Amino acid sequence: MDSPLTDIHADNGDSVARAQIAAAVTAGRLGYADGATQIFERNGATTYTEDGHVTRGEWYVDDRGRFCSFWPPSYRACYLLQWLVEDGVIVGLTFVDLSGRSRFDGRYR
């Protein structure tokens, strides 16, 4: 993948460092197992599309260095980000909610 991630060396499941979060989420459109897609823009906007329904929100890195998102009018969530790596190549991200009860993979498209 020719992207801003080519200089990042990671193993599958490694945490995304705070300094790498912006590059990680904006490196490309993410596709999820349920067919939904998501785009993160450098300006902090994000667009999630599922079954033709588009939802717009915001993403940011909080003061603790965690990836977080805000979906109007009031839903806010923070996640641990992990690299999804196959055969030595970063292919996406795993989002783990802070309770550890849910996780989902987004693959770069």
* Pairing outcome for strands 103-108 and 89-97: antiparallel
**pLDDT per residue as tens digits for the range 39-84:** 999 999 999 999 999 999 999 999 999 999 999 999 999 999 999 9
Contact of 40 with 27, CB cutoff 8 Å: no
Statement: residue 1 has pLDDT above 50: no
- Determine the structural domain holding residue 99 and report its residue range: 18-108
58 domain residue, yes or no: yes
95 domain residue, yes or no: yes
**pLDDT per residue as tens digits for the range 6-22:** 889 999 999 999 999 99
Round to whole Å and give the CA distance between 38 and 36. Answer: 7
Residue 80 burial (10 A CB sphere; 0-12, 13-18, 19+)? middle
Task: Name 20's Cβ contacts closer than 8 Å, sequence gap at least 6.
Answer: 8
5 domain residue, yes or no: no
Contact of 39 with 50, CB cutoff 8 Å: no
Q: Domain with 87 in it: what CATH number? A: 2.40.128.640
Domain count of the fold of the chain: 1
